[in-house]
Amino acid sequence: MIRLITREHTLRNRSPVMFGWTGKFLHVNLNKTKAVANRYEGSIARNYLGGRGFAVKILWDELRPEIDALSPENKLVFAAGPLTGFALPSSGKMVVAAKSPLTGGYGDGNVGTLAAVQMRKAGYDAVIVEDKAKKPVVLLVQDESAEFLDGKDLWGLDSFKTEEKLREIYGKTAGILCIGQGGENLVKYANIVCQGGRAGGRPGMGAVMGSKNLKAVVFSGSHELPAADPKTMQTLGGDGYREILTKPNYPFWKRQGTMMTIEWSQENSVLPTYNYSEGVFEKAEKVGGFAMEKIKVSNRGCPQCNMTCGNIVKGSDGKEAELDYENVAMLGPNIGLGNLKQVATLNRLADEYGLDTISLGNVLGFAMEASEKGFIDRNVAWGAFKPTKDLIDDIAHRHGTWGNLLADGVWSASEKIGRDSSKWAMHVKGLEISAYNCHSTPAMALAYATCSIGAHHRDAWVISWEVKTGREGYNAEKVDKVIELQRIRGGVFESLTVCRLPWIEVGFELEWYPRFLQAATGLEMGWPLLNVIADRIFNLTRAFWVREYGKKWSSDLDVPPARWFEEPLKKGALKGSKLDRGKYNSMLQMYYRKRGWDTRGIPTRSTLKSLGLDDAARQLKRVNLSD
């Protein structure tokens, strides 16, 4: 079924051994079927850590500005951090990144996967995939070898079947990442899938992979990871895992994982419902954590994690599906569907096709509202299971007018549909908003609006703190909290690359991470220094957006959709709530000032220089940087 096309691999620039990091990037050119491993400068590791830090640095340095994200010129980066692959809590993660076809800006996602562990054991901190294969291929990276295998027989298969076939050949422990039909058909929110439905890369990383004719990547490594202090590493790892088990929230977390958030969101009127027009759902109980427990069959999770949070249930078609808060909220309440088994089936279908479940639920909510208002001639009513399933099929294959139009995301769809649909196209910078309704939570709205990839909660999930401490204010304390979380979560965790959930959900203390880092790398890097690194990464990410958007960049891009400002909630305890536009804009300007950005949201020259981003300051001259 799979045969070898070519094999070539060389190693350049030998330099002293580093600890923690493998010290090597692998550049793979799919068109030339060539792979070259390079040792990179130690300063890159110290200044950018890994994961997102490496990804944005590589894309900034290597991409020509304003390329078409789906052209061969784009590059797809798989990047891990200095903790990835060690026996440390929740460290089996990697970042997949590229210029996003959905947003036109910086795009990435993290994925918990054996591929992260195996890529590092094969000897690489990052693999950079360039150009486009002449026909469908599977990239196999095994230690010092890279092979380009014929992927013709896998093209057209869903992600589950693709992985199954590759696993038959490469075994249970291989790290496999693949795309489904969504990525092949360049759906702009197609993601990358692994391990039977774990997925990452919301802003179209699967579409970038599809545009390169790359059906799958298989990593398999046999090297020991180079720890500076292996003994301490072993002791600390064991202590860390045991510490997590002692946390009071741990037993309930194991029962429900993030699914408990359905009930929390409902109680607090922030559950995305009927395309974010409401914050409470009349059938929330039917799709909540306790309803899930009744049909749960097992847990699944990322490698190196003892908090395994994927809840496995059987859907209405009998197939297994993995449920978490985001995918249930978006494919349940947000589309008016109150049957958990049917929600599970839609989730499974999305994972098979390799479509991001958050964006998909958001797009479907938009389509249902457009259908209700008579803006599109496709009949898809709120909560109607079969028409929804049919529409997902059409989107994944870009079938028909609406399948094709909705495959480009809500920003593009609203521009084509016109009328007032942009007011309820729920995105920021083109990335569909994830599962929190922010009519009554200005800090969370700011977090969405300023996130590195468009509207996602990953960088700063500030909503739980905001609900606890007071929703009303648009003040400095909220701005500071958003920045603090963006540093810890979006900067440090995404670059180390470790999961944020042990800290957030069971209270695994932040002090563990510098200790892990020192055992791995030998470097003493406390949180003050890590926060500076996080700022460097965050500012380079923002510079990437500005370089891509050029003169089209404006602070309007950091503002959530009009619905939250203009259409108050009609139901629930917070009936009548909406955001205040004037206060929001003042808070945004305060955020810019604290970040060292100008009134347009562009880092000033001195901010960039203070972080060592002189090249960004030079390249952004054309947008007239402020001092």
Question: Given the rule CB under 6 A, which residues bind ligand SF4?
Answer: 90, 112, 301-302, 305, 307-309, 499, 501
Min dist CB 259 to ligand SF4, Å, is 12
Min dist CB 452 to ligand SF4, Å, is 19
Handedness of CA 495, 63, 453, 610 (dihedral sign): positive
Cα(482)–Cα(490) distance, rounded to whole angstroms?
Answer: 11
**CB closer to ligand SF4 out of 100 and 110:** 110
Min dist CB 123 to ligand SF4, Å, is 23
Angle at 484 between CA 478 and CA 490, to 5 degrees: 120
Shortest-Cβ-distance residue relative to ligand SF4: 301
Min dist CB 283 to ligand SF4, Å, is 26
The DSSP output letter for 582 is: H
Cα Rg for the chain, rounded, in angstroms?
Answer: 23
**CB closer to ligand SF4 out of 158 and 322:** 322
> Hey, how many other C-beta atoms are within 10 angstroms of the C-beta on 12?
10
Handedness of CA 351, 464, 302, 76 (dihedral sign): positive
Min dist CB 112 to ligand SF4, Å, is 4
Token readout for 49 is 């850590």
- CB-hemisphere CA count at 13 Å for 217? 26
| Burial of 624 per CB tally in 10 Å (0-12, 13-18, 19+) | exposed
**CB closer to ligand SF4 out of 329 and 376:** 329
Nearest to 499 by CA among 301, 334, 335, 290: 301
Min dist CB 90 to ligand SF4, Å, is 4
Cα(52)–Cα(48) distance, rounded to whole angstroms?
Answer: 8
**CB closer to ligand SF4 out of 74 and 118:** 118
Separation of CA 598 from chain center: 27
Min dist CB 373 to ligand SF4, Å, is 37
Min dist CB 310 to ligand SF4, Å, is 6
Angle at 436 between CA 556 and CA 537, to 5 degrees: 55
Angle at 23 between CA 198 and CA 527, to 5 degrees: 70
Min dist CB 84 to ligand SF4, Å, is 11
- CB-hemisphere CA count at 13 Å for 184? 22
**CB closer to ligand SF4 out of 254 and 609:** 254
Cα(342)–Cα(349) distance, rounded to whole angstroms?
Answer: 11
Token readout for 501 is 């959930």
Element (H, E) at 106: strand 106-112
Min dist CB 308 to ligand SF4, Å, is 5
| Burial of 16 per CB tally in 10 Å (0-12, 13-18, 19+) | exposed
**CB closer to ligand SF4 out of 15 and 249:** 249
Angle between helices 476-485 and 581-595 (to 10 degrees): 50
Cα(554)–Cα(536) distance, rounded to whole angstroms?
Answer: 21
**CB closer to ligand SF4 out of 501 and 625:** 501
**CB closer to ligand SF4 out of 308 and 412:** 308
**CB closer to ligand SF4 out of 194 and 370:** 194
Cα(120)–Cα(325) distance, rounded to whole angstroms?
Answer: 30
**CB closer to ligand SF4 out of 306 and 412:** 306
Min dist CB 302 to ligand SF4, Å, is 3
Angle at 321 between CA 315 and CA 314, to 5 degrees: 35
Min dist CB 195 to ligand SF4, Å, is 10
Min dist CB 305 to ligand SF4, Å, is 3
**CB closer to ligand SF4 out of 382 and 461:** 461
**CB closer to ligand SF4 out of 90 and 359:** 90
Min dist CB 46 to ligand SF4, Å, is 25
Cα(425)–Cα(79) distance, rounded to whole angstroms?
Answer: 32
Say if residue 497 is preceded by a cis peptide, omega within 30 of 0.
Answer: yes
**CB closer to ligand SF4 out of 110 and 521:** 110
Cα(100)–Cα(201) distance, rounded to whole angstroms?
Answer: 9
Cα(267)–Cα(609) distance, rounded to whole angstroms?
Answer: 46
Are 39 and 226 in contact, with CB atoms under 8 Å apart?
no
Nearest to 597 by CA among 479, 437, 443: 479
**CB closer to ligand SF4 out of 68 and 239:** 239
> Hey, how many other C-beta atoms are within 10 angstroms of the C-beta on 513?
24
